[in-house]
Structure 1
């Protein structure tokens, strides 16, 4: 089973590519890290309790107000508890996005709560699709490089735009409630598009593919078709996949080899960056 890592910065078109890949003619299963992250912090979950314990005392607006039109479960009396109130993502975003040591510390704390829960959920879904004999699965992970999950995937599809102004314009159009400063903080909290593109292109040609999304949907569909045609051509045949399904040792060996190749690509990139900084 081939693991395809789909990534991209805010407002570059990653969600559009994800929807294309889940639809015919590809019809690939999508494991959406953002969706799993949302589930991990729903009221009553372990992640929810951890976030409340960490940020609740110093973030008064962390929880959304109760909807008076929705009946409360349990106690009645018109008074709700934390179990019925969802986390206000905008308030949490204001707390963790932006520059400064405090923001970075809070962002790291949030990632330390959510990322392990997301990885566990991803592992369960991957096992499910492997047992079903899927030839490929897409891991839709916005922070693929930041979370070091690029070492796990066979192929990276990086959705990109050529200009930061295009990214900012699309982000403000998608979320008009964001101020220019808030939009900049959110973009700045992630690795830049240019660096992600460079990291993707630094992988072997068959393991890293950049999908440029400067035009319309038709242009993007052609980019996806080109990249997926290459992935199909470079993949092993179906008999290879079924042999691995029937051979746990073979599957473990193939998986370990893919992780090694991903680790080697990441290590090569980091060493190149160190050499560049030394020359400056």
Structure 2
């Protein structure tokens, strides 16, 4: 089974590409990291409790009020709860907008908070992704798409046989799309969210460093029809190239051989990344 990493900076159209890959004629299973990130912090989960422990006391609006439709449906009475038990017993959902304001941005405090949040969520998301990958492998799918916005930042690209990067060539287009999508964002908040991720140009460069076979770039600067043609072109290339021998062994259904060969591929990717990083550090010192 081929693991296809799908990534792209915020508001570049990655979710649209993901929807196209999920639909006819591709019908590829999608493992969406954003969806899993929400699931692992749902009320009552281990991740939920850790987020509240880390940010609850210093973020008064971290939890949605009990008067919201989601908590009213559960029949909860805010007046019967003390501040100490607020969220732990009621199961109030996390206010993602408030948490976003807390962690997005380039100031040292926000970067520190973002690192703390990522340290809670990322391991849980990776575990959930592994369970999904095993399920799709056992059910005989030829490929699965790992939809991960922070694919390179998290280092998960080394596990992917192919990486598809969705990008826009003009950062102004990216900012405009973000504010059109999230109407409540101010210009400063939008800049903070864009700045918290690796720049589009860096992601494109990282994708291209993987080589023509393993790295594919889709520029989403035009309309929907052009995007459909780009997706069709890339998937056609992936099928033709086959994703390398690792994919073929997985597809033949030999788990032991897949594990051995897959481990070799991961080590090769890890070593290539380390050499690239060493080269960049060396250039920075000159």
Normalised to the residue count of structure 1, the TM-score between the two structures is 0.93
Q: Gapped runs of 5+ residues in structure 1? A: none
Q: How far apart are the structure 1 equivalents of 2:59 and 2:201?
A: 34
Partner Cα distance (1:76, 1:196) in 2: 47
Take 2:261 and 2:203, find their aligned partners in 1: how far apart are those partners? 26
SS at match of 2:56: helix
User: What residue in structure 1 maps to residue 49 of structure 2?
Assistant: 49
Mapping for residues 20-169 of structure 1, pairs under 5 Å: 20-67=20-67, 70-73=72-75, 79=80, 81-82=86-87, 83-169=90-176
Deviation string, structure 1 residues 165-219 (Cα, Å, up to 9, x no partner):
0100000111110000000000001110010001001112100111001101111
Name the SS of the counterpart of 2:194 in structure 1: helix
1:78 deviates by 5.5
- Number of aligned residues: 276
1:77–1:266 distance in 2 versus 1, CA, 3 Å: closer
Quick check: 232-241 or 111-120, which moved more? 232-241
Residue 197 of structure 2 is matched in structure 1 by: 190
Aligned partners of 1:115, 1:225: CA distance in 2, in Å? 31
For the aligned residue pairs, the C-alpha RMSD in angstroms reads 1.9
Separation in 2, partners of 1:266, 1:18: 26
2:276 is the counterpart of 1:272: no
Do the aligned residues in 2 keep the contact of 1:153 with 1:262 (CA within 8 Å)? Answer: no
Runs of 4+ off more than 4 Å: 75-78, 236-242
How does the TM-score come out when normalised to structure 2? Answer: 0.91
Deviation at 1:71, TM superposition (A): 4.5
Over residues 205-252 of structure 1, what are the superposed CA-to-partner deviations in whole Å (9 max), with x where a residue is unaligned?
A: 100111001101111111111111111011169975443x2x222111
> Equivalent of 1:225, from 220, 232, 252?
232
| Cα offsets for 1:109-134 (capped at 9, x unmatched) | 00000000000000000000111111
